[in-house]
Chains A and B, each alone.
Chain A
């Protein structure tokens, strides 16, 4: 009896001792938890602050730039045109007055200072460089800090939450110790042992959590990255690459710096380096569709068509609504020789485009402006491919070398031509009618001829001088063609592209007002004023009847 009582007392003393020990352990873990939670709150607070400041920097910076451009530069430009007009009219005194006021305006806004503007160059201000200095670098810096401190806050929160789990486990230990005082014999030993094991696990676990590193915020890397973003913004990609190199030296797994360095290499035409950086960015955690989109496209450009197809498919799995990627996939399938699959993807993309526009119109909204860009760009990609197959790629073409294309080129040419027309027709039909193109257009036109009107000394028309290349300084062009199958009142749209990009100021929209068949002459002109001429370059003119591409032709201005 005495011995049993003594054992009981010893056990109760041990339990009291252990409970007191748990109090110390709980106090230590509570301290660690409070510290971690505090650090987490601090980082999250900074993150929120930087997010707000980044938004301010963008909003106020863009406001400033836009007022300087639309206010100061627009005033300067108007005065410059007035001076030119006065000169052409022989009123040199008025021209001088306009120039004097124009030059005075140029002293009043920072957009006219070096290095943004050089009046002698004849060019407008370098708005991108001005934007970069006014807000792009600063907003990039603040946005990166926002993301970095958010990540830091999450890491501290995770640590604090793990300590809360530890405290919960210690509560379980304490309850096991408490319950053990109500038990006797073997079961008491089990409860004490179990509680002690849990406490030991908590101690070990807490030590591991303390040993795990918390991500650090490298201000040096962020500053270098922001500088690089600014330089890339105004096209100094080589200097931008040097900045991204500095950022990556300070923080080698900086995913955004890898991605932006990839973009800078891409802009420099160094596609292999771009690929390496995009792949590294993905490995470093940039798993978003932007990286995948660029990666798939660059694989296509370097002739790695299997990788392009796989990457585009992965991106579409992430976001099936990306029309641009859908058409990139179709293009990669085409050059790989999977013609029927490629055609199916093109039709799928076109049907999705029609559905998107129809749905938007039904809801009384508009599709995003990027929609038209991707539709146009996809047609342009097909045209570039056809030009490359003909050995006639343009300096602005982005297309893989035809040596890398091993599929049947005759089939590829057929598919690319028909899909090019499909995309052109669909884009025009959707933009002007909001529906798919009319399949029953009978209009045909002969190949375009481009001509200058020759006038006699009285200003009377003498003849058309047809050519393919015209001297610099012309301000009007006449397109000659024969046509048949026309129906009066059909919609008639003319689009003019210079060096692959549409010049919307030359776009004309109207209704067919000529006969059912005959000879047509369409003028595209700047001659409503004597201030403008055709800039040098390659011009492509397209005629659409009821949204169907009927004919296109090209002329060059030297």
Chain B
């Protein structure tokens, strides 16, 4: 009768191990799937970030090119103005040249680059413009790939650890089976070992599931 009860116990424990193993495998598969999705979100963010960089670079380069033309005509106007201060004989030609140069410079400044980035020393703060454009893009779109990749790595670690627990549960299953099929007194020891591994494996899987 005692033997029969023991067999019923080990059979029940084998069933419990099987069910817990299935649950752990399910959670591992889910974590693995989630890690793949996090990786994909990371790649989308990478594409967004790099696209934002290229588009901003093009915009800043275009503005800088317009700024260079603006500088060219402003400086030319300045030099002609300096020449006019000496009251030369051909003043009317120079006057027209100065007016044209400064006029073109004003037109370029009005239409082709934002004056906000002009610095008092006559240079153009293209780095600030670039940084601001990138900040705009970060606000408008997901460009932080590393966050997603970190999440993906964590989920992958979780899936690996859960699958590692399947080994403990497999060994537990093996001990219970051994306890089930042998007649020797050692079967108690095997059942104990199986129970211990079942407890450790299940507890560890629960902790992994809750913490990660």
CB atoms of B167 and A100 under 8 A apart: no
CB atoms of B72 and A109 under 8 A apart: no
Which of B65, B152, B176, B181 makes the CB contact (< 8 A) with A67?
B65
* Distance, CA A97 to CA B182, complexed state (A): 106
Q: Please count the residue pairs between chain A and chain B whose beta carbons lie under 8 angstroms apart in the complex.
A: 134
Known: A24-B171, A34-B28. A17 touches B61 (CB 8 A): no
CB atoms of B39 and A101 under 8 A apart: no
* Distance, CA A67 to CA B145, complexed state (A): 29
Is residue B104 within 8 Å, beta carbon to beta carbon, of the partner chain? Answer: no
CB atoms of B54 and A56 under 8 A apart: yes
CB atoms of B181 and A13 under 8 A apart: yes
CB atoms of B71 and A108 under 8 A apart: yes
Is residue A16 within 8 Å, beta carbon to beta carbon, of the partner chain? Answer: yes
CB atoms of A52 and B47 under 8 A apart: yes
* Interfacial chain A residues near B67, Cβ < 8 Å: 108
* Interfacial chain B residues near A53, Cβ < 8 Å: 46, 50
CB atoms of B174 and A24 under 8 A apart: yes
Chain A residue, CB-CB nearest to B101: A101
* Interfacial chain A residues near B145, Cβ < 8 Å: 49
Is residue A184 within 8 Å, beta carbon to beta carbon, of the partner chain? Answer: no
* Interfacial chain A residues near B181, Cβ < 8 Å: 12-13, 16-17
CB atoms of A19 and B50 under 8 A apart: no
Is residue B198 within 8 Å, beta carbon to beta carbon, of the partner chain? Answer: no
* Interfacial chain A residues near B180, Cβ < 8 Å: 16
* Interfacial chain A residues near B32, Cβ < 8 Å: 34, 37-38
* Interfacial chain A residues near B76, Cβ < 8 Å: 97-98, 101
* Distance, CA A415 to CA B163, complexed state (A): 73
CB atoms of B46 and A52 under 8 A apart: yes
CB atoms of B174 and A30 under 8 A apart: no
> What number of A residues sit within 8 Å (CB to CB) of B?
47
Residue interface bits A417-431, CB-to-B below 8 A is 1, else 0: 000000000000000
Instruction: Name B's A-contacting residues (CB within 8 A).
Output: 28, 32, 35-36, 39, 42-43, 46-47, 50-51, 53-54, 57-58, 61-62, 64-65, 67-69, 71-72, 75-76, 79-80, 83, 123-124, 145, 149, 152-153, 156, 159-160, 163-164, 166-167, 169-171, 173-174, 176-178, 180-182
Having A35-B160, A41-B156, one finds 14 other A-B pairs with CB under 8 Å, namely A13-B182, A17-B181, A23-B170, A27-B169, A27-B171, A28-B170, A31-B160, A31-B163, A34-B160, A38-B35, A67-B65, A100-B75, A104-B75, A109-B64
**Which 10 pairs from chain A and chain B are nearest by CB?**
A71-B65, A27-B170, A20-B177, A56-B50, A67-B61, A13-B181, A60-B57, A97-B79, A20-B174, A24-B170
Instruction: Name A's B-contacting residues (CB within 8 A).
Output: 12-13, 16-17, 19-21, 23-24, 26-28, 30-31, 34-35, 37-38, 41-42, 45, 48-49, 52-53, 55-56, 59-60, 63-64, 67-68, 70-72, 75, 79, 93, 97-98, 100-101, 104-105, 108-109
